[in-house]
């Protein structure tokens, strides 16, 4: 969460991660259904991996090794 909100609390970081997921992944589900026949499942899966890696990179740029 370091790139989007560097000083966010764990709750705020979770909220940011949920917003990034909603913005990136949720529109991808209908798009993948519509594009399955045009693009093909293999290429579509690689595009999905790349997009999720980018969104994960935005939210997890600084891993939190929280030990109670």
The residue count of the chain comes to 68
Structure tokens at 47: 């595009």
Does the pTM surpass 0.75? The reply is no
- List the domain boundaries for the chain: 13-58
Q: Where are the alpha helices (DSSP H) in the chain?
A: 10-24, 28-39, 41-59
pLDDT digits (tens, 9 = 90+) for 4-54: 566 778 788 788 778 877 887 788 788 888 888 998 989 988 988 887 787
Phi-psi label, residue 40: left if phi above 0, alpha if psi -120 to 50, beta otherwise: left
Q: What is the pLDDT of residue 42?
A: 92
* Cα–Cα distance for residue pair 37/55, rounded to 1 Å: 25
* Cα–Cα distance for residue pair 66/54, rounded to 1 Å: 23
């Amino acid at each position: 969460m370091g790139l989007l909100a560097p000083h966010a609390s764990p709750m705020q970081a979770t909220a940011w991660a949920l917003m990034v997921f909603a913005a990136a992944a949720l529109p991808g589900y209908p798009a993948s259904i519509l594009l399955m026949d045009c693009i093909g499942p293999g290429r579509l899966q690689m595009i999905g991996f790349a997009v999720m890696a980018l969104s994960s990179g935005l939210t997890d740029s600084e891993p939190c090794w929280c030990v109670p």
